[in-house]
């Protein structure tokens, strides 16, 4: 693809000393603009209508090789954030970040494991060593940020089922055992998925206890030395190649006050095949252990005589990334906000990554462009912002393009912990992440269906498009916990996360599901997630129009959509609003 270097007005604004909710003076803003270079040109002919053409030009730009996969903290990745901020300014958004700028600084750490000087090794009861070959058998890392070398002597190995401590479900996979200083092996997803029992956890729908993030967090609370998750494609909802692609190379995290010392020394994944061999060597059958693990009352099972040891040598970089935040101030109630979120980042460039088509042992393109994930969502955010900027809103609107989503929703988590406006003044939010360009559909899929009154509003809007809402057909994949809206939802803010439909107007449900399956298998978190001029964005345009219509309805009213009664986030929202 072509690369560009142009001079453009950009968005670094002097602090204006405004009180909360007071917009910067336009002339002060203009006087404070500095000149900088953008690596890609801004659009020149977008309109205030929601159009496929506008979406395409923004997606193509953000997915261009120039930005090298938009890796947070990298020069080219942060150049993408500069581009988003410059585009916000061009279409008429005011700065919504820190000190009168479009940016909220997110301090981060990049940790890169030197695989030539690192290892994870199991030792069988007879003393035979069973080293895990990186990427083939295992992927591992450390979240500890204060040292470039970590090692641990042989530790006992214990199987802890799903690794969940869930009081509301009367479930504790760790029991009353002290597992500090040991290595634990954990199943992915949660017991409800394994049994299909709708009365166990949430049945097939994954809960937060099924997420890999939770499993590592809980293992750390238990004081373990190492935490290893067994990968299986069906309960994980992605293949081993996604694990190797996502967790190899530089791994990003927020700067932790304790340097990550409260985390396990080593975290990682092993393949199902590797796990079967380990269990068999210890005299256990993995499948039998899985059956036991989904039974109430399960207790940890030691792999008798099995030991695990490890060593990690890593490079550590202290870096900064940025959330990019623009705002449209409301005319009537400027201290009430409609929020749109999308993550601008992706996986960056991985020179060490080897992927390719069947029969190939190396794929030359090492840039993970992230065209679907999530140039589409960022383009949608900008498209909606441009349309809203053309009208006078009663309430204010905030547009947050967040960073570090691919590293564990870190940018949105930082925004939720350090909001630029009070969270109880955010009326509602819509998150946009990863739209497939499959053409027009008869439906939209609501992830985490049955959550809030935002779904009722979306239903009414879709009716004007002769479309309907469909619940997520794969709640077991846990998509509701895998994008940035969850960071705000956990703080009580009602959030809508909907995706493109499955029921294609040309080809039906079978065609829609087939297209999604191809993307997951061939493009998701791979270099092949690239923009193509052959994309059919007409369906995506309708989705974006629906998001715009729902948000405009909220911004032009005094409605406060709420979580449905009994929702897990209802109580925290009520508490938050009580403090207004």
Tell me: pLDDT of 441 over 70: yes
Residue with tokens 């954030």: 81
**pLDDT (average), residues 142-160:** 97
CA distances in angstroms from 513 to 446, 520, 555, listed in the order given: 15, 11, 34
pLDDT band per the 50, 70, 90 thresholds, residue 354: low
Tell me: pLDDT of 32 over 80: no
Tokens at 408, concatenated: 């564990």
Tell me: pLDDT of 343 over 50: yes
How crowded is the C-beta side of 282, counted as CA atoms within 13 Å? 24
pLDDT score, position 246? 84
Tell me: pLDDT of 497 over 50: yes
User: Does pTM top 0.85 for this prediction?
Assistant: no
331 by Cβ neighbours in 10 Å (0-12 / 13-18 / 19+) ranks as exposed
**pLDDT (average), residues 26-32:** 37
pLDDT score, position 477? 82
Residue 340's closest CA among 372, 388, 290, 408? 388
% residues pLDDT > 90 (the chain): 80
pLDDT per position as a tens digit, 294-306: 999 999 999 999 9
| In the chain, domain spans | 6-101+329-578, 112-316
pLDDT score, position 361? 44
For the chain, the farthest-separated pair of C-alpha atoms sits apart, in whole angstroms, at: 77
pLDDT band per the 50, 70, 90 thresholds, residue 478: confident
pLDDT score, position 15? 30
**Distance (Å, whole) CA 277 – CA 102:** 52
Q: Using only C-alpha atoms, what is the Rg of the chain?
A: 24
Q: What three-state secondary structure class fits 135?
A: coil
- Asked if the bond preceding 58 is cis, omega within 30° of 0, the reply is no
Which of 31-45, 242-256, 325-339 shows the lowest per-residue confidence on average (mean pLDDT)?
Answer: 31-45
485 by Cβ neighbours in 10 Å (0-12 / 13-18 / 19+) ranks as buried
Q: From the options 3.30.230.10, 3.30.1330.10, 3.50.30.30, 3.30.450.260, give the CATH code of 112-316.
A: 3.50.30.30
pLDDT score, position 275? 98
Residue 519's closest CA among 379, 373, 307? 373
Q: From the options 3.30.1330.30, 3.40.630.10, 3.30.565.10, 3.40.50.2300, give the CATH code of 6-101+329-578.
A: 3.40.630.10
**pLDDT (average), residues 351-369:** 62
Tell me: pLDDT of 365 over 80: no
State how beta strands 226-230 and 266-270 pair.
Answer: parallel
**pLDDT (average), residues 456-465:** 98
pLDDT per position as a tens digit, 415-433: 999 999 999 999 999 999 9
pLDDT per position as a tens digit, 540-577: 999 999 999 999 999 999 999 999 998 889 999 999 99
pLDDT per position as a tens digit, 197-245: 999 998 888 888 999 999 999 999 999 999 999 999 999 989 999 899 8
């Amino acid at each position: 693809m072509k690369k560009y270097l142009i001079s453009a007005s950009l968005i670094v604004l002097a602090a204006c000393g405004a009180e909360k909710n007071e917009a910067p003076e336009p002339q002060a803003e203009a006087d404070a603009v500095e000149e900088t270079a953008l690596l890609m040109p801004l659009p020149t002919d977008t309109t205030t209508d929601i159009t496929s053409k506008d979406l395409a030009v923004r997606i193509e730009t953000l997915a261009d090789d120039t930005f090298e996969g938009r890796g947070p903290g990298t020069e080219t990745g942060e150049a993408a954030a500069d581009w988003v901020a410059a585009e916000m300014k061009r279409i008429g958004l005011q700065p919504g970040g820190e000190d009168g700028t479009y940016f909220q600084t997110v301090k981060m750490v990049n940790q890169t494991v030197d695989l030539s000087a690192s290892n994870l090794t199991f030792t069988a009861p007879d003393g035979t060593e069973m080293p895990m070959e990186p990427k083939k058998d295992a992927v591992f890392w450390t979240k500890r940020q204060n040292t470039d070398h970590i090692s641990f002597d042989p530790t006992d190995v214990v199987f802890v089922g799903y690794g969940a401590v869930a009081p509301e479900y009367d479930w504790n996979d760790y029991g009353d055992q002290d597992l500090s200083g040991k290595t634990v092996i954990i199943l992915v997803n949660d017991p409800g998925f394994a049994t299909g029992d709708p009365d166990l956890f949430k049945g097939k729908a994954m809960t937060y206890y099924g997420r890999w993030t939770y499993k590592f967090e809980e293992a750390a609370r238990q004081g373990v030395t190492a935490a290893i998750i067994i990968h299986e494609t069906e309960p994980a909802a992605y293949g081993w190649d996604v694990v190797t692609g996502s967790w190899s190379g530089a791994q990003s995290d927020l700067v932790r006050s304790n340097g990550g010392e409260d985390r396990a020394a080593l975290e990682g994944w092993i393949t199902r095949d590797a796990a079967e061999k380990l269990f068999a060597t210890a005299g256990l059958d993995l499948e039998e252990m899985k059956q036991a693990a989904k039974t109430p009352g399960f207790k940890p099972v030691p792999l008798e005589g099995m030991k695990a040891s490890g060593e990690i040598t890593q490079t550590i970089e202290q870096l900064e990334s940025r959330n990019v935040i623009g705002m449209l101030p409301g005319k009537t109630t400027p201290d009430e906000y409609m929020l749109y979120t999308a993550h601008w980042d992706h996986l960056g460039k991985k020179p060490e990554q080897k992927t390719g088509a069947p029969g190939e042992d190396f794929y030359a393109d090492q840039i993970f462009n992230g065209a679907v994930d999530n140039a589409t969502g960022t383009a949608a955010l900008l498209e909606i912002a441009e349309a809203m900027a053309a009208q006078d809103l009663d309430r204010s609107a905030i547009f947050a393009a967040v960073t570090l989503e691919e590293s564990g929703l870190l940018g949105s988590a930082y925004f939720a912990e350090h909001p630029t406006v009070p969270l109880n003044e955010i009326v509602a939010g819509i998150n946009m992440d990863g739209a497939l360009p499959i053409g027009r559909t008869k439906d939209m899929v609501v992830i985490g269906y049955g959550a809030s009154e935002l779904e009722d509003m979306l239903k009414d809007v879709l009716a004007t498009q002769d479309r309907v809402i469909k619940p997520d057909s794969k709640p077991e994949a846990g998509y509701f916990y895998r994008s940035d809206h969850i960071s705000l939802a956990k703080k009580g803010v009602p959030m809508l996360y909907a995706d493109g439909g499955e029921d294609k107007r040309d080809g039906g449900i079978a065609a829609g599901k087939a297209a999604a399956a191809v993307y997951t298998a061939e493009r998701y978190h791979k270099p092949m997630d690239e923009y193509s001029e052959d994309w059919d964005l007409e369906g995506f345009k309708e989705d974006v129009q629906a998001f715009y219509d729902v948000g405009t309805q909220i911004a032009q009213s005094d409605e406060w959509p709420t979580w449905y009664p009994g929702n897990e986030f209802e109580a925290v929202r009520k508490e938050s609003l009580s403090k207004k």
